[in-house]
Structure 1
Amino acid sequence: MTTAEANWLEDLSAETPDGRARGSALQAFLSTEQSPTSLVSYQSRGEVLVIGPGDQALPFVEELDDGVPATVLVTDGQPAGGKPRGARMVCGKVSQLAGYLGHYAAAISGAGDKQLDVAELAGLPRPHFDLVVDFSEQPLLGFQTPPFGYYPVARGAHWRTRALEELPDMGGEFEKPKFFNYDPDICAHGNSGLSGCTRCLDGCTTGAIQSLGDQVEVDPYLCQGVGVCVSSCPTGAMTYAYPSLRDLLRGVRRMLQQYREQGGGKPVLLFHDREAGSALLKDALPGLPEHVLPVAVEEVGSLGADAWLATLAYGAAQVCLLGHQDTPPRVVKAMREELGHARAILGGMGYPRQAVEWLQPAGPEALLVALRAPLNSPQIRPAGFETFDEKRSTLRLALEHLLAEAPDTPPPAVALREGAPFGQVLVDAEACTLCMACPQVCPTRALLDNPEAPQLRFVEDQCVQCGLCEQACPEDAITLEPRYLYAESERRQPRILNEEEPFCCESCGTPFGTRSVIERMLENLEGHRMFQDEAQRRRLRMCGDCRVKDMFKAEYQAGGEQ
């Protein structure tokens, strides 16, 4: 935690038992150790590429400090005034721009389809630029969160001002944490060429995540820790590395425990971004209700339902997630979708709708109004479980505790919206042939075969509704039903979705398929020229070994007769 966050304690009021308990609680949170993570290093020589029409790009270059090495790429023809003072100049239409701080590559269109490297045309000793100021009407890098060292001026005049202020100091070595960890073994993105979950790709605001077919790849240089890939990942394949979920929730648990021990009432945890969220919150601190505990995280979009629900289970009366006016739309969309699923599950147990809230106020006053709203939440016995950076386990522990403390008896299950990471698989037994294509692609082993019999089983607790089974089914016999089943014993108990009498080899009696599959095969091959005599059709009713033996036997007998 930063010194600035620790200094906030002096600005928070402490006139009531809640306020005094809050001070002790925040101290407990701030003293929680964080596990280290690796660093991502950027090397920059401060070489700037300014792109845009001449009437905008050239005056900007003239305003730069003399010590900033710059190349201007004029996109609307040769300027009348010639080359700007102390800068290189290239003219042309941009055909490509990609990269990150210290490694931006740009190209313009040449004759035919030829791509001309801008750094080479400008005579740079290296094939890339370190920084880019983009005056294009539509930013050439359209990510909702621009990469480090890229200034899209079309998004607001403040980007131009910011570039002029920052560029003189943008040479040297820069480091940031490696924010993510990825476990491809439990990723539900794809299998056997089929496409499943795309939540991380849909939510990423930086363009850092790319599909590799059955898996994804994250570029650590483009990743800025926005975290939607983590909060929306249904399996926990993508986890946040700094801070880890385990470290964060350990601090939250200590904080809430300290708050209770010091006489605090019903605490509200306000999670906010460390930078933009802190700036919004700073002006509201003196008037912040004394039962509200502000908690800074790198990015509030990295917190998913596992963190929210565990915080409620640890004894928080409410969890508030603080967005701001510059929160990327993809983050807002992902948060609202996750919020809808969590609220449905909590509502089924009798918890109030506002137990988890997304706040995106216009300013400090609007934030204080939202935080002063009356809250009708039950007082529950706080949980004591530990988490181990395993998303599904954390969700399971939190929900089981909240269910045990629930104000109401829930129905057997609650329906959820499409996209929820919980639900069941429904199988049309008439259409299903028990080919077992679905268990082969299931990334979580929610679908299981039975080595002893033709039987398809399902464990609902493991299902993340990724849809791979639905795509793999050749008979279109599978549909998904998003829901949350409250009874743990039913969720975790394998149940049979379809089973059938095995078809046994007519020669040796070994079961090798299902009766419906063999009968359908015989029916489909009824008129096939290769299966017109009874011996050929009989082989279809044999296992593989007996079929081969019968073929050799027939050839041997035919040879003997000749």
Structure 2
Amino acid sequence: MFEFIYMKNSTYPDVVLHDHIKVLEHDQDIECVVCNVALQGTKRVAKEVNFFIENSAQTPLELAQSLSLLYEAHGLQFDFDHTKYTPTQEGSLIEFFNYNKEICQYHQRRVECCGKCSEVCPTQAISKLDPQIAREKDLECEDNRHLVIDHQSCIDCGKCIAVCPSGSLSYSSFNLECMQEVAKLYRGYIPLLIDCKAELPNTPLKKEVLPLCLNVNILEQVALLTWVQESGSQIVIYATQELGIGTLESIALLNEIYTHLCHQEAILVARTTEELQACLQDAQSLSSPYTPPTIPTRTKRDLFAQRLGFLIEQGDYGQVGCGEFIRYGHIEIKDNCTLCLSCVGACNTGALSVDGNAYTLLFNPSLCTTCGYCEATCPEKNCLHLERDGIALNPAYFVPKIMAKDSLFTCKMCGKPIGTTKSVHKIAQIMTPKFQGDARKIATLYACPDCKVKIMLEDMLDINSILK
């Protein structure tokens, strides 16, 4: 199998190519990873190659370098491709996306907190199932709720990928890890991202422009910021059909951020050839390219926080809002928090955490998907409140903040730690009236399990000293 093949274009027969790209004079069946036309045995078709040759203003040597990068971009996508193919009677079942239920904001939660993917899916390839829906449809649902995925109904629109807040859904053939590696190839260029479903336009490309065909509906805030930062330039998106709501809201969010920081938009969108020509003419460099350090991440909010935090550095650029699908915000916690940590257990993105040494509850707003599960889980009345008010463009938004603090309560008899002071007093406040003045039972509320037994069984104990 060959890696890269170029089928010679009779209109442009003298194209200069690097040696690692094999040139074919005539159409033939041959196995290769990337080719500019759809040969039998080709794994990936780089249809933007001919478009680029026909329209670019680059010199032959510049063109050779750029074409090499285009082939490399498709080669990387082949290397990172995790698409699953399952043989069926009708042919082959393709799984265009992967699903990680561990960071899903809908899976097995007691209350509905998300399900945005099912709302944007046009074919019900993703649908919600909870006990109520199960009863209405005469189905079985053995847990609180979960997503029902039907890959056979998926039409590869990509809209679910862009609205998923945590990265639970990822695009099989072009995930975020692959996106970063491909975007690195575009350093010093203006990326022109063309919807793979659109007909390639006939428009001149200035020297700085390098195209790539892809499913533009998978582009959300992390992917878009990756393209902008890795290239160091504004990016141009060309899509003749209306973009998905997740992509549209992500573009609006990033453009508002860059307007605050750089006084210009980062992403230019065109739907017609005329609009594309105007966008390409206006597109320019923004800043030096940036690649974040390799740090283990749990969700795509981690990736976005790393990139946006670098962009903001130590500045304070005010506040930007958010949309209905791409949501950001913060929580507020009042003094009646007992540090029971129910909210920490409910949060699967790491936005809420605890410092066990300092007995503090911490919140990092940049990691929060504003799903609201912590608010629904908190047992204290009017204690935790979620506000979906967007992103604060300052360094404090990207670091954990102390939301509640308490001291350690020790057993009144032996001094062994038994919990936080607020939680022990809260339990005592609830249980004392139920014990109807029984001093011995009330004293057990302030003791460890071992000493509770002593209090109840030993008559010589000074109960009053325990209750002081």
How many Å apart are 1:208 and its aligned residue? 1.7
Aligned pair partner of 1:251 in 173, 176, 182: 182
TM-score, normalised to structure 1, is 0.61
- Work out the CA distance in 1 between the residues paired with 2:316 and 2:250: 21
Aligned in 2, Cα 1:13/1:337: closer, same or farther, shift over 3 Å?
closer
Q: Deviations over 1:460-492 (max 9, x none)?
A: 44333222111111223222344435555x455
Between the aligned partners of 1:186 and 1:357, the Cα distance in structure 2 is: 32
User: Structure 1 residues 459 and 216, CA, compared in 2 at 3 Å: closer, same or farther?
Assistant: same
Once residues 502 and 247 of structure 1 are traced to their aligned partners in structure 2, the CA distance between those partners, rounded to angstroms, is 47
Deviation of 1:301 after TM superposition, in Å, equals: 0.7
Deviation at 1:498, TM superposition (A): 0.7
- What is the aligned partner in structure 1 of residue 85 from structure 2? 40
Q: 1:22–1:290: 8 Å Cα contact kept in structure 2? A: no
The structure-2 alpha-carbon separation of the partners of 1:225 and 1:540, relative to structure 1 and needing over 3 Å to count, comes to same
Q: State the 1:517 CA deviation.
A: 4.0
More relative contact order, 1 or 2 (CA 8 Å, 6+ apart): 1
8 A Cα contact 1:270 1:322, kept in partner: yes
Question: Among residues 269, 289, 304, which one is paired with 1:395 in the alignment?
Answer: 304
Superposition deviation, residue 198 in structure 1: 2.5
The CA deviation at 1:242 is 0.5
1:313 aligns with 2:244: no
Q: Following TM superposition, by how much is the alpha carbon of 1:318 offset from its aligned partner in structure 2, in angstroms?
A: 1.8
> What letter is aligned with 2:253?
H
Is 1:208 matched up with 2:128? no
Q: Are residues 1:371 and 2:279 paired?
A: yes
Per-residue deviation at 1:185?
A: 2.4
CA contact (8 A) 1:187 1:235 kept: yes
User: What is the distance in 1 between the residues matched to 2:146 and 2:386?
Assistant: 22
8 A Cα contact 1:269 1:316, kept in partner = no
Using the size of structure 2 for normalisation, the TM-score is: 0.72
Q: Deviation per CA, 1:19-61, whole angstroms, max 9, x where unpaired? A: 98467424412233122434434645xxxxxxxxxxxxxxxxx
Alignment pair present for 1:449 and 2:389: no
Residue 346 (structure 1) aligned with residue 262 (structure 2): no
Give the aligned partner of residue 191 of structure 2: 269
Give 2:117's aligned amino acid.
C
- Per the alignment, residue 356 of structure 1 pairs with 267
Rounded Cα–Cα distance in structure 2 between residues aligned with 1:386 and 1:452 = 28
Partners of 2:61 and 2:305 lie apart in 1 by 33
In structure 2, what is the equivalent of residue 532 of structure 1?
A: 437
Return the alpha-carbon distance in structure 1 between the equivalents of residues 341 and 124 of structure 2: 36
Kindly tell me the number of residue pairs found equivalent between the two proteins: 394
2:55 is matched by which residue type in structure 1? L
Question: Tell me, what secondary structure is at the counterpart of 1:234?
Answer: coil
Conserved 8 A contact 2:301-2:366:
no
Cross-structure match for 1:6? 49
**Secondary structure at the residue paired with 1:512?**
strand
Counterpart Cα distance in 2 of 1:236 and 1:296: 22
CA offsets 1:354-388 (integer angstroms, 9 cap, x no match): x11343x3xx444435425635x554222355879
Q: What is the 5 A alignment of 1:159-558?
A: 173-174=91-92, 176=94, 178-190=95-107, 192-211=109-128, 213=144, 215-254=146-185, 256-257=186-187, 260=188, 267-274=189-196, 276-277=197-198, 279=199, 282=200, 284-288=201-205, 291-297=208-214, 299-325=215-241, 327=242, 332-353=244-265, 355-359=266-270, 361=271, 364-368=272-276, 370-371=278-279, 374-375=282-283, 377=284, 379-384=286-291, 391-403=300-312, 410-411=315-316, 414-417=319-322, 420=326, 422-429=328-335, 431-452=336-357, 454-475=359-380, 476-481=382-387, 482-486=389-393, 490-491=396-397, 493-525=399-431, 527-528=433-434, 530-553=435-458
Retained in 1: the 8 A contact 2:231–2:289? yes
Structure 1 letter corresponding to 2:177: R
Structure 1 residue 416: deviation in Å? 2.8
Three-state SS of the structure 2 residue aligned to 1:443 is coil
Q: Identity rate of aligned residues, in percent?
A: 23
Partner secondary structure for residue 251 of structure 2: helix
The corresponding residue for 2:12 is none
Q: Distance in 2 between matches of 1:227 and 1:183?
A: 16
Contact 1:309-1:398 at 8 Å conserved across structures: yes
For the Cα contact (< 8 Å) 1:187–1:215, is it kept in 2?
Answer: no
Shift of 1:497: 0.8
Residue 551 of structure 1: how far off its partner (Å): 2.8
Amino acid at match of 1:311: W
1:139-188 deviation line (CA, Å, top 9, x unaligned)? xxxxxxxxxxxxxxxxxxxxxxxxxxxxxxxxxx2464x32222222323
CA distance in 1, matches of 2:63, 2:290: 20
Aligned AA (1:218): I
In the superposition, relative to structure 1, how do residues 428 and 253 fare at CA in structure 2: closer, same or farther (>3 Å)?
same
CA contact (8 A) 2:320 2:393 kept: no
CA RMSD of aligned residues (A): 3.4
Label 1:345 to 1:548 Cα distance change in 2 as closer, same or farther (>3 A): farther
Structure 1 CA distance for aligned equivalents of residues 310 and 357 of structure 2:
37
Letter of the 1:539 counterpart: T
Equivalent residue of 1:346, what SS? helix
Kept in 2, the 8 Å contact 1:439–1:447? The answer is yes
Cα offset for 1:441?
0.8
**2:69 maps to which of 24, 28, 47:** 28
Structure of higher CA gyration radius: 1
Matched letter for residue 440 of structure 1: G
Rounded Cα–Cα distance in structure 1 between residues aligned with 2:229 and 2:366: 20
> What amino acid is aligned across from residue 269 of structure 1 in structure 2?
P
State how far apart, in whole Å, the 2-side matches of 1:527 and 1:3 are. 75
Q: Check 1:480–1:347 CA distance in 2 against 1; reply closer, same or farther (3 A cut).
A: farther
Q: Is contact 2:361–2:402 with CA below 8 Å preserved after alignment?
A: yes
Distance 2:301 2:50 in 1: 36
Letter in 1 for 2:345: Q
Name 1:114's counterpart in structure 2.
none
Cα displacement (A) at 1:542: 2.4
Which runs of no fewer than 5 residues in structure 1 stay unpaired? 45-101, 103-172, 261-266, 555-562
